[in-house]
Amino acid sequence: MNMHTFDWTIMAGLMALLLVTVLGTRKYMQGVSDFLAAGRCGGRYLLCIGEGIAGTGAITIVAFWQMYYVGGFTSIWWTLPQWPLLFIVAMSGWVLYRFRQTRALTMAQFLEMRYSRSFRIYTGSIAFLSGVINYGVFPGINAQFFIYFCGLPESFELVGLTLRTFPVVMACLLGFALYLTFTGGQIAILLANFLQGAFCMIVLLSCSLVLVHQIGWTNVTEALATAPEGKSWINPFDISETRGFDPRFFMIQYFIIVYVWKAWMGTQGYNTSAKTPHEARMSQILGSWRYFSQEMLLPIFAIAAIVVLHHADFSSIADSVNTTVAGFPTTEQRSQMVVPIVLSKLLPIGLMGGLAAVMLAAAVSTDQSYLHSWGSIFIQDVLMPFRKKPFIPKMHVWALRISIFAVALFAFVFSLFFTLPDFIRMFFALTGAIYLGGAGACILGGLYTRFGTAAAAWTTMTSGAILGVGGIVLQQIQAADQEIGGLMAWLQFYLYKAGPIEWFIGYFGSMDGQRLTFFNAICCIAIYLLVSLVTYRKAFNLDRMLHRGAYALEEDIAEGDVPRGPRIHRWLGINESFTRSDRIIYLSSVSWTLLLGVVFFVGLFWHWWSGGIPDSSWLVFWGIVIAVGLALGMVFTVWFVIGGIMNVKEMFHLLATRVRDAADDGVVRDDYGQEEAEAIAVPTPIEADETLEP
């Protein structure tokens, strides 16, 4: 084994801490809204750290390590425009602010408010199927990490039986996540994920500092210079031969961020857990800072692996690592596990246990959030709309628990038999497109227009699902043609030698998951707009659904939460809810956004004007980037942990004093599309909502 007794003690200590703290939440879980949305008592720092670790699970960390191992520093360059985009989206309250205003407990509940109950069931079913398939690979990759990082044997003896380690590790991880989720629902998830997220921030920062010291910058520059032409690890303009993670991948990612912002339901509990819409917005602004500082640390781990495998000073370790990864059958699987295996050879006692505990926390937090989300979606958005009479609260919670357990069982069986054939991020994009392709247009049209129609939503969602599934099928046909020679010729013969069909299969089948997702989204946007314009009859009452104006709820209005001032302020999401500290955070975010944008475009201009930036200049730049990432990591770790502790105290106070509404269970009891007695101004079909707050 690679782990010392002290390392195992660190992991055991974290698990014990989680069990003790989560058990203390049981008395606060008194209703369905508590189980699904933590009673809507979450503060900004609690949500920021909790959602951060839920979205940065062990499989996500491995996926980023895989990407940076393939692309080196070059992947960082093409993600720079993503940060200004994330800040703008977060500061404007894009999607999240209005979704929180609806007070829906799931995204599909909002879709019922906006379109119809049958559409909620339809969309919930597609989201559920897409989500559980997407989640199905999580337990397997998590288990593989721990087996190879900790040096666990492939099998072991127990009471005279020989058991495979792989399914046992999967079962232990899923079982622990299920227990934490069952204990207190979203309240327990928020608290557990905050503890895990704070621990992860501290350990990732510590490991990064140690790796930078162990590897040495001189070794980094020498090792990265060995990359062949077209596959540079230093120069982002010399990656024409880099498979998968080229500039087009990242450009599509910029579009996808805006198009499907908050549409994915894997961590939907956080979308509904904020105390107010303003707190939800602030959690996203702070989350962008946390995400940037964290993502600037993750490349350090992958760069360390590149140096170990390509520098003569580490040849003995490289030989050991190469022997281990040679046992994996595919290139993709080798690239998934090479970084964890290298780290197991580099990190000292204590940090080995710390990083293992980080990955345990990341795995369990994501399992908690995804199990909670997909299990809840099946009950809330597929089963409940069929019932004429709502569940009583106790039976409702038990139904949610049974559904969550069923999702865990499916994921266990799926991971046991399915081998991931592609890069992890490509698989995420491909499976997610089944739901996200149509959902993005339906959500944006539902929240931001009065003219979007139910007919458009049905057509768009169906088209997105067909295109998503079709992309997967075409990829499999293309892969089969490469493995079984003559498949295309066979298809041509039986399809009357239809050349266009061969071209169609070859062209779209050769696309990766990212490009298929983009094609799907563009088609769905066009379909939604076209069908809405054709079927538009009367304006939808957005104010009623969003609880604005005469329909406003006092509980959701922070002091001074009234949009005022210049129109540009409302575009950027600034209103009187912003305190002095909020405005400082906002101005800092704007300044940082502008700085990153300037750096990126200056780099583009310099490359074009000078005919190419030398690798020596790029290495200086990457050294600065790593230094800034480490500095920000230290600042935000201290700041966010202190703020999160204050939010935890406030959450428990609110849960102890707030009166629950038994009817707050996700059932839509109001027809938001119903025409009211008062006159509603009907805009022309091409007019969007004129109110410009987020």
Query: Where are the chain's structural domains?
Result: 5-657
pLDDT band at 397 (very low <50, low <70, confident <90, very high): confident
CB contact at 8 A, 682 and 539: yes
Least confident of 286-290, 319-323, 607-611, 645-649: 286-290
Report the predicted TM-score, pTM, of the whole model to 2 decimal places: 0.70
Report in angstroms the alpha-carbon separations of 21 from 178, 199, 226: 15, 14, 49
Nearest Cα neighbor of 83 from 581, 436, 589 is: 589
Question: Which pLDDT does position 493 carry in this prediction?
Answer: 47
Q: Give 434: exposed, middle or buried? Use CB within 10 Å, 0-12, 13-18, 19+.
A: buried
Query: Count of alpha carbons within 13 Å of 615, Cβ hemisphere only?
Result: 14
Nearest Cα neighbor of 209 from 124, 301, 123, 137 is: 301
Q: Give 222: exposed, middle or buried? Use CB within 10 Å, 0-12, 13-18, 19+.
A: middle
Q: How far is it, in rounded angstroms, from Cα 178 to Cα 404? A: 8
Report in angstroms the alpha-carbon separations of 67 from 216, 217, 250, 304, 332: 22, 21, 12, 14, 11
365, amino acid identity: S
DSSP class of 688: B
What does the pLDDT look like over 97-155, one tens digit per residue?
888 788 887 777 888 889 988 898 888 888 888 888 888 888 888 888 888 888 888 88
Q: How far is it, in rounded angstroms, from Cα 265 to Cα 371? A: 11
What does the pLDDT look like over 34-75, one tens digit per residue?
666 666 777 888 888 877 666 666 777 888 888 888 888 888
Least confident of 62-66, 463-467, 671-675: 671-675
Question: Which pLDDT does position 365 carry in this prediction?
Answer: 77
Q: Kindly report the length of the chain.
A: 694
Q: How far is it, in rounded angstroms, from Cα 98 to Cα 439? A: 16
The pair of three-digit structure tokens given for residue 558, joined into one six-digit string: 């922070």
Q: Is the pLDDT of residue 676 over 50?
A: no
Q: Is the pLDDT of residue 477 over 80?
A: no
pLDDT band at 447 (very low <50, low <70, confident <90, very high): very high
In CATH, the architecture of 5-657 is Up-down Bundle (1.20)
The pair of three-digit structure tokens given for residue 304, joined into one six-digit string: 């360390």
Question: Which pLDDT does position 506 carry in this prediction?
Answer: 53
Question: Which pLDDT does position 412 carry in this prediction?
Answer: 93
| 42: helix, strand or coil | strand
pLDDT band at 307 (very low <50, low <70, confident <90, very high): very high
Higher pLDDT, 527 or 182: 527
The pair of three-digit structure tokens given for residue 1, joined into one six-digit string: 């084994």
Strands 161-164, 155-158: pairing is: antiparallel
Q: How far is it, in rounded angstroms, from Cα 199 to Cα 53? A: 10
pLDDT band at 558 (very low <50, low <70, confident <90, very high): low
